[in-house]
Amino acid sequence: MTTFVFLTCLVAATGGLIFGYDIGISGGVTSMDGFLLKFFPSVYQQQKDVVDTNEYCKFNSDMLTLFTSSLYLAAMVSSFFASTITRVFGRKWSMFSGGITFLAGAALSGVAESLQMLISGRILLGIGVGFANQSVPLYLSEMAPARLRGMLNIGFQLMITIGILVANIINYWTAQIEGDWGWRLSLVLAGVPGAIIAASSLVLPDTPSSLIERGREEEAKAMLRKVRGTDEVEEEFQDLVIASIDSKTMKRRWMNILQPRYWPQLTVAVVIPFFQQVTGINAIMFYAPVLFKILGFGKQAALMSSVITGIVNMAANTVSIVSVDKVGRRALFLEGGLQMFISHIVVGLLIGIKFGMIGAETELSRGYATLVVFFICLYVSAFAWSWGPLGWLVPSEIFPLEIRSSGLSITVSVNMFCTFVVAQVFMNMLCHMKFSIFFFFAAWVLLMTTFIALFLPETKNVPIEEMVFVWKNHWFWGEFIPDEALHVQNRTPARASPYLSIHASP
């Protein structure tokens, strides 16, 4: 790998910071008294009302969760606009737009005086996230050489986890500030990652695929030489050109993606983000401080526990960085799924035994509380090396160029929609389902792990323009792929053939 490509991918991955910062900041802010008093006085009252209120229901308020969730609705809509900008103007301009909008959103929510201002700020932040999440994974997968694509792409998830952790630490610190300044500082500091991605996207070169797509073939070839660190790029260049011709002849992009020949990729692009969210990860990421408070932890202890889950989330992510291009995507998915399943069951049992269905207030001993945090960490680590990074990596590498940008925006919007739903309904579900909500997530994990085992082909080390062979050779998806979709192979049979035999099984 050239230093150039490494630095470029590092800079692009900073797009993950804004998403991560936001995930990590909202839970802490919604557990701060000053914030609740200003915008959600009834929740503040409910929370203080220890005698009458069921513990599971203390934070159950639709308006409060709307604060967290509104951002993801905005991100869902904006990812479709981002798709067009990404394709027509290039990947970097989507990243830039994302950074700038996010910056504006951070300013507005930090100075908010009314709920309307607060929610408007969240919507701007969401638009920023939609743009960044649509363009960054795509950029990384196109820049990276096939052998290291997994590792470089996971840089995005690493930045997400860094963003979450930084936000958790900031909350821990600002929660100690009296009055309004604490939460305002937490919200306004989102401007820092926003500025980082906006400024750094300006120095990024565009990907060879994107340059070809926009008719700048000479520049594209020079860029390909630079990122691959060799002059021997003719074959890959030709693959990219062919892909781009296909892309240009395709007029009604959004209708075309519905053709049966794309069903395999489309199915995966839709179910992966859906499954990623029903692992339950954001119940923990958004609401860990609140959840720990419900479990009887003091305010600072609750925030500290979410710093701990934040550290585990980031550290465990590195496991996938070093192993994804060696053991492959499927092995990580399967191991992660099993570990998440077991952890969910144990956490559900531990909480159920102590709180029962009533949710009466109870003191957790230090040992018991540590055990709960330990199993939550076991769960978070499994997610952090499986569904977390792979939920973004796999959709970004499975599509042919002609529908890659649109395909990825479908992934982003499904992800954002499901994130919205989890953020919006989790507190309500907890209030009604009590501890069995963890069993509910466990059941989904079981289902998604079975889906991976049967339907996800292994994509490690396959050049992105040759991915179609992987689908063609899958026991189930193969028949959807017509022979004319394989013309990259017709041109260079010797080079393409290995993927026909290596990836013959799921």
Binding site for ligand BGC (CB under 6 A): 23, 157, 160-161, 164, 276, 281-282, 285, 313, 388, 391-392, 415, 419
Task: Look at the alpha carbons of 224, 228, 234, 239 in this order and tell me if their dihedral is positive or negative.
Answer: negative
Q: How far is the CB of 157 from ligand BGC (least distance, A)?
A: 5
Q: Residue 112 or 132: which CB sits closer to ligand BGC?
A: 132
Length of the chain in residues, anyone?
506
Q: Residue 154 or 196: which CB sits closer to ligand BGC?
A: 154
Q: Residue 271 or 349: which CB sits closer to ligand BGC?
A: 271
Q: Residue 284 or 351: which CB sits closer to ligand BGC?
A: 284
Q: Which residues are CB-neighbours of 469 under 8 A, at least 6 positions away? A: 462, 486, 489, 496, 499, 500, 503
Q: How far is the CB of 161 from ligand BGC (least distance, A)?
A: 5
Q: How far is the CB of 229 from ligand BGC (least distance, A)?
A: 30
CA dist 501 and 441 (Å) reads: 37
| Tokens representing residue 126 in the block | 């969401």
Q: Residue 106 or 158: which CB sits closer to ligand BGC?
A: 158
Instruction: Give the HSE-up count for residue 396: Cα atoms under 13 Å, Cβ half-sphere.
Output: 27
Q: How far is the CB of 97 from ligand BGC (least distance, A)?
A: 20
Name the residue among 165, 209, 206, 153 with its Cα closest to residue 15. 153
Q: Residue 86 or 317: which CB sits closer to ligand BGC?
A: 317
CA 11 to chain CA centroid, nearest Å = 17
For the chain, counts of helices (H) and of strands (E): 25, 0
Scanning 111-252, the segments in alpha helix (DSSP H) are 115-143, 149-174, 181-188, 191-203, 208-213, 217-228, 234-249
Q: Residue 346 or 394: which CB sits closer to ligand BGC?
A: 394
Name the residue among 98, 186, 45 with its Cα closest to residue 409. 98
Q: How far is the CB of 391 from ligand BGC (least distance, A)?
A: 5
Q: How far is the CB of 422 from ligand BGC (least distance, A)?
A: 8
Q: How far is the CB of 88 from ligand BGC (least distance, A)?
A: 26
Helix (H, G, I), strand (E, B) or coil at 477: coil
